[in-house]
Structures are given as structure tokens and as C-alpha cells.
Amino acid sequence: MSTPADPVIKPLPMRTAFFVSDGTGITAETFAHSVLSQFDMPFRQIRLPFIDSIDKAHLALRRINETCAIDGQRPIVFSTLVKTELSDIVRTSQGLYMDLIQTFVEPLEQELGMKSMHTIGRSHTPADSAEYRDRIEAINFSLAHDDGQSNRNLSQADVILVGVSRSGKTPTSLFLAMQYGIKAANYPLTPDDFIRRKLPPALLPHKDKMFGLSIAPDRLAEIRHERLPDSTYASIENCRYEISEAEKMMQREGVRWLSSTTKSIEEIAATILQEIKTEQRSG
Amino acid sequence: MSTPADPVIKPLPMRTAFFVSDGTGITAETFAHSVLSQFDMPFRQIRLPFIDSIDKAHLALRRINETCAIDGQRPIVFSTLVKTELSDIVRTSQGLYMDLIQTFVEPLEQELGMKSMHTIGRSHTPADSAEYRDRIEAINFSLAHDDGQSNRNLSQADVILVGVSRSGKTPTSLFLAMQYGIKAANYPLTPDDFIRRKLPPALLPHKDKMFGLSIAPDRLAEIRHERLPDSTYASIENCRYEISEAEKMMQREGVRWLSSTTKSIEEIAATILQEIKTEQRSG
């Protein structure tokens, strides 16, 4: 007998998507998300990282085929396996095999007139490279210069984010450091600064590196309420005052700024990066 | 007249690679790096993010074609443009066009028996989604629980990293939070703990969430020397002692651990994630 809570339509079993990689699988996964998000349906997602031997490739193959049997429909397999002896194994699964690397490497080999290296785990910079050390150094720098903690070596900063408390400075700074190796300091604009009507003195020599974050007062009040409920700090009146003063100050001082209200830290970071540099080299 | 410093062989002009996106371009860029790294040559890299209008698509097209003329060879164009009215414009450039999304969306439409949404900027979670808020909350949590700063709410942590000073706990915690929305606390193992021969008391109720990081003593000494040159803290003898004691303690207490010596934070994070959870759902 059917109760009122029974679903009227039995949902289709969920499709499974596998992210198979010889490394961390982060690239495969992030990228596959973009592709899957084009479809208005949920996917059960399974990460299979560090598939770097024939044995592990066979285990991955078995797991995919077992899932196919259980689901009763083909899994989607996103693979960044580079070595052909590994991808040739996983490719034979009953899933829909999408080769994220080889699909583009082949036309590139033609265009560049050279063979690819078929190396493994090159999707991220190795831990002993200068680029990797720069990233770690940038993370340490950004942490040490979070929230105006230190004025030491501000001249080494690539960018200095300013804005009122909880406008998004800290996560953006860390993201810039982690993703791009950018040394991003951040500095709060506080009611003290608004009364003095001047930027914090330590920042004055670095105006060209400053970038402001603003935010809609109601969103700011919401975020601050989560932190300190029912405080003056979080009140909408105070948020309106601080934002209005901060925006006036940035305008007066010629500091570029953007609103973080509807932007993710990725979007804020990419916008800032466009302002401070648009070209990079890699080798 | 030629001076001894002149290069004997004139290098080929560098190829330019464009990363064109309607959003931040981060997915396009990270992914294209994996593909380009399969070739043993440098690429000049230009990011063209936020190409979200017909006008901007025409500007991108012009920039690519100008670069083609200047370089005297075809640029490589990696695109994650989703809307066909935009990709149709950039696709006509003189560069080699690689459509990172459509290439996989088409076979998926067939497999899934449904049309894709052709939406824009879906590669990252929108700033107002629950998933995004969880990530920001995780970043704040990880920062508040960096280096044993706070024992409050340790029960809310998804993972607690332990290890000696400078073994890689902080950047790994932040990466876990930022990339996966994992609440990652981290806690130092110090000489005090080694003398007491016990884990820090605050951690004892949370043993199942603990994950240790170790590191080769000579690498640790190198990292510590950069921070505090010629200190006892950084001396190889002290590093050997701390690492040996930390590893003994983790073994005694049954804490899983790995060596961070040659691993990037991505690799450490992916390994930890495999231990604590291998499946995720998304909608």
C-alpha cells in the first residue's frame, strides 16, 4: 500500500562519473566538473587518483565495470592517464571513456611537429621546482601579512588587498598565493582610518599595489552576524557606514576596487590578476 | 660584429597559448597546463578571462590574430567558452582552436540522451551556493585552527594534521579547505610532547581524524634554515631528533602518516582525502 510520503515517480538510478588520474586527479576532477555541470542532473562522483601502475589500472578497470553492473548503466570515465600502457587498460572498461589529455595532445603533436613526452603526473608543478617553492613562499607571505598583522617586507608584496572586516580579503589573498604564487598581503580599513580620513600609514608607499574589496552592506551584515550575532559590528547601520566610508576613501585615494558581493574568490582573484598582470611564461 | 655573448643558434620564436574563458579561466588554464606540459618546449601564456559578450569575443579574436601575425606562427587557443554565439566567433581565429568543453559535451549528450544547458560560468560553484559557503567556512576554520591556535570546536574538524614545525601542515590544511571544503585543523608536535611521550592532550579524543606529516630531516633542516638561519631549531641534529621522535610517537599512537619530502601540497591533500573519503556527490 502506498503512503502519502511515497515518491510518485521512481527516480532513475544516478549516473556515476569516475575521475581517473596517474596523479592527484585534481585537474581531472575540476575540469570534469565544468563539463558535467552543463547537464541538469546529479552525478555520483568517484575519484581514482594515483593510478600509476598496471596493477592499479586493472583495479580501476574492475571498479568501473562493477559500478556499471550495479548501476545498470554506463559510468562516465574522465581520464588524465598519460602513459598509454595504463590508459589502454582503463579504456577497455564498459564506461564512456573520455581521454582529457590525448584528445588534445594529438592535434598539438601535428601542429607543433613534435612528439609529446607521455610523462606522468606533470599536471602539477613538482615539489622540488622553483615554481612550487615560490607558491609555498607566497602562501607563507600571505599568512604572515593577513589582516594587517605585519608591515615587514610589504614592499615584497605583489598586491595588497584592502577593505572593511569580512569583505573577503583573507580567502582571496590565500587563493592568489596558492593558485598563482602571488604574494598577497591584506590590510583592514577600520573606523579609526575613517575618522582620520586617511589610509593606514604603512600602506601609503604602496598605493600602486593596492586593490580594494567592497561588498553590499546587507550581505556584509549577514556575514558579520554569523560571526558576532546582534553586535554593533554586525548591525546594518554600522555596515552601511563602514562601506560608505571605505568606498569614499578608496575613491579619494585612487585605489581600484570591486564589489565582492556576488563574486567567488576565484572570480575576485582572476579580476585582480587581470589588473596586475595578464601574461605569464612557463617552460 | 658578433660578441662572445651572442647566442650561436637563434631560438625559434616562442609559441603563444591563449586560455579563453567566459569565467575566471582558472579551469581552462590549469587543464591546458597539463596538456602543454606534455611538450618539451616553453609557451608564452596569455589568459583571456571574462569573455562573456559578443564584443569581448571579437576583442579576443583580434588579439589572437594579432599575436599570430607578430609571432609568425599559429597560437594555440584553449577555450572553455560555453555559449556557441561566443565560441563561434573565437573559433574563426587563425589559431589552433581547442574546445575544452564542447569536445566532451557532445558525446555526453548522446550517452545521456539529453541536451546540455550551454550555460555560462558554471565551472566554479556560484558565490551564493551552499557549497561555496562551506568552502569559505572551511577556510576560516582552518585558519582559526592553524598551528594548534585553538582547541575550540576541534570536534567539527574533518581532519587534524599533526607533525613537527615546517613539515607542511599549514599549506596542506589551507589547500584542503580551499579546494575541497574540508575543515582541516593542524597541530604541531613539539619537543615538549616528545619529553612527555604523549600526544597533545586536546587531540586524544580525535585520534580517528588525525593524519601525520613527516619529512626527511635534511629537507626539514633546509626549510628551517631559510626561516631561522644557524639556529638550534634548524640544525640537522635537532631535525633528526624531532622527526625520529615524531615518527615513533605516531607509530605508537596508531596515527597514519606520510612523508611530505617530495610531495606537493596537492599530492599530500589528495592522499589524505583518499583516506578520509573517496566519494562525493554533486548536483
| Minimum CA–CA partner of B96 in chain A | A111
What are the strands, taking DSSP E only, across chain B?
A: 15-20, 43-48, 76-79, 96-99, 159-163, 184-188, 210-214, 257-259, 279-282
Q: What phi and psi, each to the nearest 5 degrees, are found at residue A231?
A: -95, 160
Q: What phi and psi, each to the nearest 5 degrees, are found at residue A177?
A: -70, -45
Closest CA to B183 of B133, B138, B136, B132: B138
Chain A residues whose CB is inside 8 A of the B80 CB are 34
CB contact under 8 A, A31 and B35: no
CB contact under 8 A, B124 and A266: yes
A80: CB partners within 8 A, 6+ apart? A20, A21, A22, A23, A25, A27, A28, A100, A101, A123, B34
In single-letter form, the type of residue at position A98 comes to: M
Contact at 8 Å (CB) between B82 and A38?
A: yes
CB contact under 8 A, A46 and B278: yes
CB contact under 8 A, A111 and B101: no
Chain A residues whose CB is inside 8 A of the B144 CB are none
- Binding site: what residues of B are annotated? 163-170
CB contact under 8 A, B46 and A116: no
pLDDT value, residue B13: 72
* Facing A96 at nearest CB: one of B101, B107, B171: B107
Please state, as a whole number, how many other Cβ atoms lie within 10 Å of the Cβ of residue A28.
Answer: 28
CB contact under 8 A, A264 and B127: yes
Contact at 8 Å (CB) between B44 and B18?
A: no
Strands A43-48 and B279-282: antiparallel
Q: Any idea which of A108-112, A262-266, B6-10, B219-223 has the lowest mean pLDDT?
A: B6-10
pLDDT value, residue B142: 96
Rounded Cα distance, B122 and B95, in Å: 25
Closest CA to A174 of A147, A202, A210, A155: A147
B19 forms beta bridges with B47, B78
pLDDT value, residue A151: 87
Interhelix angle A169-180/B130-144, rounded to 10 degrees, is: 90
Q: Which residues of chain B have pLDDT under 50?
A: 1-4, 121-123, 278-283
CB contact under 8 A, A96 and B111: yes
Interhelix angle B102-112/A26-36, rounded to 10 degrees, is: 60
> Using 50, 70 and 90 to split pLDDT, how confident is the model at A275?
confident
3-state secondary structure of B272: helix
Nearest-CA distance B71 → chain A (Å): 14
Rounded Cα distance, A141 and A138, in Å: 5
* Facing A27 at nearest CB: one of B31, B273, B282: B31
Percentage of chain A surpassing pLDDT 90? 72
Nearest-CA distance B241 → chain A (Å): 24
Chain B residues whose CB is inside 8 A of the A174 CB are 139, 174, 178
pLDDT value, residue B10: 56
3-state secondary structure of A194: helix
Contact at 8 Å (CB) between B90 and B61?
A: yes
CB contact under 8 A, B116 and A47: no
Rounded Cα distance, A19 and A48, in Å: 6
Sign of CA dihedral B263, B268, B274, B279: negative
- Tell which of B16, B80, B106, B124 to mutate to test the A interface (max A CBs under 10 Å): B124
Q: What is the DSSP letter of A133?
A: H
- Is pLDDT at A107 greater than 50 in this prediction? yes
Rounded Cα distance, B8 and A191, in Å: 62
- Tell which of A29, A76, A124 to mutate to test the B interface (max B CBs under 10 Å): A124
Nearest-CA distance B246 → chain A (Å): 22
CB contact under 8 A, A38 and B82: yes
Summarize pLDDT for A145-175 with one digit per residue, the tens: 999 998 888 999 999 999 999 999 999 999 9
A259 forms beta bridges with A214
Please state, as a whole number, how many other Cβ atoms lie within 10 Å of the Cβ of residue B188.
Answer: 20
Rounded Cα distance, B273 and B139, in Å: 16
Q: Where are the alpha helices (DSSP H) in chain A?
A: 26-36, 54-71, 84-90, 102-112, 130-144, 169-180, 191-196, 217-227, 236-253, 265-276
What is the number of CB-based contacts under 8 A between chain A and chain B?
228
Summarize pLDDT for A40-72 with one digit per residue, the tens: 888 999 999 999 999 999 999 999 999 999 999
Rounded Cα distance, B162 and B199, in Å: 10
CB contact under 8 A, B117 and A82: no
Whose cell is 616562442? That residue is: B14
* Facing A34 at nearest CB: one of B80, B117, B118: B80
* Facing A127 at nearest CB: one of B117, B263, B280: B263
CB contact under 8 A, A279 and B46: yes
Contact at 8 Å (CB) between B94 and B65?
A: yes
* Facing A123 at nearest CB: one of B33, B132, B262: B33
Cell of B8: 650561436
B134-163 b/e with 16+ CB inside 10 Å = b?
bbbebbbbbbebbebeeeeebeebbbbbbb
Q: What is the DSSP letter of A10?
A: P
- Tell which of A14, A20, A30, A38 to mutate to test the B interface (max B CBs under 10 Å): A38
Rounded Cα distance, B44 and B13, in Å: 10
Residue-averaged pLDDT of chain A = 89
pLDDT value, residue B6: 52
- Is pLDDT at A1 greater than 50 in this prediction? no
